[in-house]
Structure 1
Amino acid sequence: MLDPNSLAQLNQLKTDIIESKDQGEGEVRGSQRRFGFVKLDDGRDVFLAPDDMQRVFPGDRVKITVHTDDKGKFKAELEKLLKSPLDTFTGRYVIRGQGHFVEPDLPRFNKLLFIPPSQRKKAAEGDLLHCKVSRHPFRDGKSQVNVLARIGSLNEPGVEARYTQYKFNLPREWPKGTETLNDQRADKRDDLRATPFVTIDSAETRDIDDALWAEANEQGWRLQVAVADPGAYILPGSALDKAAAARGTSVYLPGKTQVMFPEAITKDLCSLLPEQDRAALVCTMQVSEHGEISQVSFCEALIRSHAKLSYNGVQAQLNGDETLEHPQLKTLEAVSKALNSYRTEHALIMPEQADFRYELDDAGQIAAITKVLRNDAHRLVEECMLAANRSVAEWFADGPAIFSSHAGLREDRLANVRAVMAEALPELQDCDISTLDGYRQLINATSTSSSNLPLRSIFARMLQPGELSLEAKPHFGLGLERYSTFTSPLRKYNDLIAQRCIRAKLDNTQASLPSSDALQALQDTLRNARQASRNMERWLHYQFLAKQPKDQVYQGHIAHLNGGGFTVELDDTGINGFVEARSIPEKLSFDANSLRLFNDKRLFQLETPVTVKVAELDPFAGKLLFNVVEDEATTPSDPAEAATNTKESS
């Protein structure tokens, strides 16, 4: 038996051994192969061997001991599982010999997880599943899952929407019980039912958020934008309000809309339907002939839409192809052009993005994808909405309120942008592009530059994402000092918050704003909704391509580039697929500044038109590879200069 002194020495020896070890904590990262890495908190990436990778999931937080081999490379030894965020997930049922597994639909997750016989829910091979981890593999490398739900097989009608709901945890139910919905502000409303408001949307729209009216006067025009007022019926903290906050936004999945509020509200009670009395918040603006906005006011009102118009119908009336049944459309057109002229001179006009309509057959499968062409009617509505949202941001300037902000270029890409400026815009070398004024100068200069680089597209790939804020901050993308939105309260929860801020200011009371954590949660919810919508669209894209002849060729243009290749967007359908650089016969170099792949014979850059065909298609893995079959890539005007740029950016 050790005496106390010897025991103390032994404990000290153990402590010294532990302290002498190179240990750290970090997150497990998967790879396309069986091995992985641990990204340590100190920034190091440590190799995790395949056998150890079997004991963890990507995303797990672990404690490791770092060993260094004779080549100086780091290798991880797992010590402790600190946290495993993986709980529920979606995947595909697979059978390997006698074993039944789920193949998780998770990024960089390339292992199968065992499903015990009692947990298989009568699913068949190939079925799509919603599962829950029941046994973590850290102890012995063996994991197990329970099947929570069989979502369906790939050929079942509507499975795409159901799977998307499960994968992105979109709420599928409303709170039990009913709430009595009455206009809590009826006695405070101005009666504007005689004002001939009209709504302009797609012909199919039923959740109508906004209505317009304008008249000419000596100072230019008086413009009114009436916006649906669901906040008058749905009180903060109520069950419906909490459900709407959890959803964050309406998610428009082809064939199925995941609405933020029940359809009885969005398509009836609060929708600005024609010839129906509806509660609204109305923004009134004076617009000068130069597009300047002044004399902004807000009121709660009772309105009555005098007509539900479609974009195509309005365009036909503006063109003179149909009888002008609503003369104010010409007035609204004039107002919108003045507003656009002002923004062109004093702010920034975002490039128009193509939109696509998905037509499904009776089985919920994709039948056709149609490109929707924007016309002046779309731009008319857009300018009026922007005017109202700009106005509310100025009205909110001193807060408290909710704003939409955009901080411009990513800090880690400023050096890349400046390198491009040195080549293509040397006259702006002294411009501070981290400021709103400097950024406006930069973007405006792209339209007059003689450079053969697609400058605006390059800079657009180097921007930060937009965010919600509880204080007024610049919106670089729009070129505005501040911006907020309140014109889509039936489908965007942040717009509902903005409407409550308007009401509080009208009442001269303090607005109830979300906490910083609640605001971040809302932003995460909105981001998740966008990912869900893109995931559903991608699924339908792959269905569409799978139905086409295998040797079909497609026209497209380059939308993104990196060192591994480039993404091509098909012009007629908006489908995105990747061309691997290694599929091009000649080796290509990558310029991270100007986003170009090139050699002395070929140049691929943003907006380059290309002709492609499908090389590989895996809908479940979300993988679509193209091969270039007849590229129209150009020869670099100065290959030596391009090579120099690449060396400088590497």
Structure 2
Amino acid sequence: MYKEAIQDAISMHELPSQWRSDLLSEAEHVAKKKKTAKYRKDLRELPFATIDGEDAKDFDDAVYCVRSNNGYKLYVAIADVSFYVEPGSKLDKEAKKRGTSIYFPETVIPMLPENLSNGICSLRPNEDRCSMICEMSIGLDGKRKKFKFYSGLINSKARLTYNQVEKHLKKLSNIKQSIVHESIKHLYDLANLRLKLRNERKALKINPKEAILELTKNKEVKNIIIKKSLFAHKLVEESMLLANESAAEFMHDRLDLGVYRIHENPDPSKLEVLKKHFKIPTQIAKKSSPLEMINRCLREAHENKDDTGQILVLQTLARAEYSTNNLGHFGLQLKQYSHFTSPIRRYPDLLVHRLINTSLAHKKLGMRQNELQDECENSSMLERRAEKASRQVEQVLICSYLKTKIGSSMDGVVTGVTDFGLFVNLEPYFISGLLHVSDLPEDRYQFLQDRNALKGKRRGGIYKLGQKIKVKIAAIFPLERKINLIISNG
């Protein structure tokens, strides 16, 4: 089923999954480029470290933090993909066509050939690597004061995992490379200061549960576990947010052009649905801004352990996109934001590196705004394609796993209401099934769109969004990703 699922996703979404020989030849050729250059600052003595998941192979970013009496100096080193992949080259055209790496359980379709993505570009430990450096001065209050970008040469002193860093922070075990201990301590202190500032600006706290599929040797799902949220994730995340914000500010101040990651205000009509679900009084709703409204709903969902509420909030929010129009980021509550930190796996980040390099070299931009806007729109579209393909494979594998549960009863929550039935989320399995209107207890049901509910005409029974419901799995069609449900007690 595993191979079929991936092959199905590749053909359905027309994913480029093979490498032509001319692309591999070009990758071999550029990988031999000489790393040292007069313009590259030598930072090989600094104890940079990469912090990633257990199974990561492409290390985009490395961090180093030092503290003085005035505050912190944070160095974020990002793989210098732009040094190897030049505009207009065959590799560049292919990366643009792919737009992003696509992740499936235990498999990836990379944006760049492996000898670049996992090899010469990847910030592997104890190897010299070309990097783009964002060096930032941060006050003792956690506020960013100054920043600068330049090309650097680094030599990462440790390849750390989130679990290792978490255990080190909790004093459960020590990171064996003692050279990075000081830096980790300062990164921890800095992350705490940054999280405090994030709270003050009322950035959204969305922590949707993420599933990790554990596979057997035969690539069948043996377990579905919820990804743990660790402070080690925040430690890296806050460093990357600072670098991304600096990149956006750099483009805004130095260039007439930029690639921004934008997140617009929510659609007012979707906010109405949210108000009804959370039963927010009209008087409060009128006085509240969209930000206050969303934060109130998130707080309530969190307090009541209401996963459906969280899902509804996510459905209310606009999608984050790439654009040359600097419209700010609603979710992060930032005036300007960009993606700078993952050029190995995201094409827009590579574009941002090139824009920054153009300014640093005092060269003219080789692109007009309308051309760059086309690139942004294409990248947003390819990102959506990648998400759909990843989710599709995940759903096929979960459906296949659930075939052993046909006839079993389980708890579910109504996450969608239509005139033909209810979409019910099977909470432990991160997937929804359809409970068809014809399988609801004997009655004729009317779809009340304004209330997101189905109501029985004769008996008045009602099924609505967010309602907990006990269901039984009647049938499963894995490759179609369909689960048919019936009411458990009927």
Quickly name the TM-score band, shorter chain normalised: 0.7 to 0.9
Comparing 565-574 and 159-168, the one that deviates more: 565-574
Amino acid aligned to 1:344 = N
Q: Match for 1:409 among 247, 266, 270?
A: 266
Counterpart residue number, 1:265: 116
- In structure 2, list runs of 5 or more residues that go unmatched: none
Counterpart residue number, 1:68: none
- In structure 1, list runs of 5 or more residues that go unmatched: 1-154, 432-437, 632-650
- Measured in 2, the distance between the counterparts of 1:553 and 1:402 equals 49
Amino acid aligned to 2:194 = L
Q: Match for 1:554 among 407, 410, 419?
A: 410
Counterpart residue number, 1:73: none
Q: CA deviation at 1:578?
A: 2.8
SS of equivalent residue, structure 1 residue 187: coil
Q: CA deviation at 1:172?
A: 2.6
Residues 525 and 449 (structure 1), Cα distance of their counterparts in 2 relative to 1, 3 Å cut: closer
Counterpart residue number, 1:364: 219
Q: CA deviation at 1:496?
A: 0.9
Counterpart residue number, 1:476: 330
Q: CA deviation at 1:347?
A: 4.2
Please say if residues 253 and 533 of structure 1, whose CA atoms lie closer than 8 Å, have aligned partners that are also in contact: yes
- Measured in 2, the distance between the counterparts of 1:530 and 1:621 equals 17
Instruction: Write the deviation string for residues 329-359 of structure 1: whole angstroms up to 9, x where unpaired.
Output: 2221111121111111114134112222223
Instruction: Write the deviation string for residues 558-587 of structure 1: whole angstroms up to 9, x where unpaired.
Output: 444445444333333322323335533266
Amino acid aligned to 1:408 = N
- Measured in 1, the distance between the counterparts of 2:118 and 2:152 equals 19
Counterparts in 2 of 1:399-438, with a 5 A limit?
A: 399-410=256-267, 412-413=269-270, 416=273, 423-424=280-281, 426-431=283-288, 438=289
Question: How many aligned positions are there?
Answer: 468
Please say if residues 407 and 476 of structure 1, whose CA atoms lie closer than 8 Å, have aligned partners that are also in contact: yes
Q: CA deviation at 1:597?
A: 5.5
Q: Match for 2:100 among 249, 252, 255?
A: 249
Instruction: Write the deviation string for residues 512-547 of structure 1: whole angstroms up to 9, x where unpaired.
Output: 45444343333222221211111111111111111x
Residues 611 and 222 (structure 1), Cα distance of their counterparts in 2 relative to 1, 3 Å cut: farther
Q: CA deviation at 1:275?
A: 0.8
Higher helix share: 2
SS of equivalent residue, structure 2 residue 212: strand
Counterpart residue number, 2:235: 380
Identity over aligned residues, as a percent?
Answer: 28
Counterparts in 2 of 1:530-609, with a 5 A limit?
A: 530-546=387-403, 548-585=404-441, 592=449, 595=452, 604-606=464-466, 608-609=467-468
Counterpart residue number, 1:495: 349
Amino acid aligned to 1:482 = Q
Counterpart residue number, 2:209: 354
SS of equivalent residue, structure 1 residue 208: coil
Residues 582 and 331 (structure 1), Cα distance of their counterparts in 2 relative to 1, 3 Å cut: farther
Amino acid aligned to 2:483 = L
Q: Match for 2:37 among 186, 195, 205?
A: 186
Please say if residues 212 and 225 of structure 2, whose CA atoms lie closer than 8 Å, have aligned partners that are also in contact: yes
Q: CA deviation at 1:598?
A: 6.5
- Measured in 2, the distance between the counterparts of 1:509 and 1:475 equals 29
Residues 611 and 285 (structure 1), Cα distance of their counterparts in 2 relative to 1, 3 Å cut: farther
SS of equivalent residue, structure 2 residue 229: coil
Counterparts in 2 of 1:110-259, with a 5 A limit?
A: 158-177=3-22, 178-179=25-26, 180-181=29-30, 182=33, 186-259=37-110
Q: CA deviation at 1:550?
A: 2.5
- Measured in 1, the distance between the counterparts of 2:226 and 2:299 equals 29
- Measured in 2, the distance between the counterparts of 1:574 and 1:417 equals 22
- Measured in 1, the distance between the counterparts of 2:4 and 2:310 equals 39
Q: CA deviation at 1:395?
A: 2.0
Please say if residues 348 and 376 of structure 2, whose CA atoms lie closer than 8 Å, have aligned partners that are also in contact: no
Is 2:251 aligned against 1:396?
Answer: yes
Counterpart residue number, 2:472: 613
Amino acid aligned to 2:359 = K
- Measured in 2, the distance between the counterparts of 1:415 and 1:376 equals 35
Instruction: Write the deviation string for residues 483-522 of structure 1: whole angstroms up to 9, x where unpaired.
Output: 1111111111111111111211222223445444343333
Residues 363 and 479 (structure 1), Cα distance of their counterparts in 2 relative to 1, 3 Å cut: same
SS of equivalent residue, structure 1 residue 429: helix
Instruction: Write the deviation string for residues 388-425 of structure 1: whole angstroms up to 9, x where unpaired.
Output: 11221122224411011122223654665677799436
Please say if residues 336 and 384 of structure 1, whose CA atoms lie closer than 8 Å, have aligned partners that are also in contact: yes
Q: CA deviation at 1:594?
A: 6.2
Q: Give the root-mean-square deviation of aligned CA atoms.
A: 3.0
TM-score, normalised on structure 1? 0.66
SS of equivalent residue, structure 1 residue 158: helix
Please say if residues 439 and 486 of structure 2, whose CA atoms lie closer than 8 Å, have aligned partners that are also in contact: yes
Please say if residues 66 and 182 of structure 2, whose CA atoms lie closer than 8 Å, have aligned partners that are also in contact: no
Amino acid aligned to 2:116 = I
Residues 455 and 426 (structure 1), Cα distance of their counterparts in 2 relative to 1, 3 Å cut: farther
Which of 1 and 2 has greater Rg? 1
Counterparts in 2 of 1:421-460, with a 5 A limit?
A: 423-424=280-281, 426-431=283-288, 438-446=289-297, 457-460=311-314
Amino acid aligned to 1:627 = I
Is 2:194 aligned against 1:339?
Answer: yes
SS of equivalent residue, structure 2 residue 169: helix
SS of equivalent residue, structure 1 residue 186: coil
* Greater relative contact order (CA < 8 Å, ≥ 6 in sequence): 2
Please say if residues 504 and 511 of structure 1, whose CA atoms lie closer than 8 Å, have aligned partners that are also in contact: yes
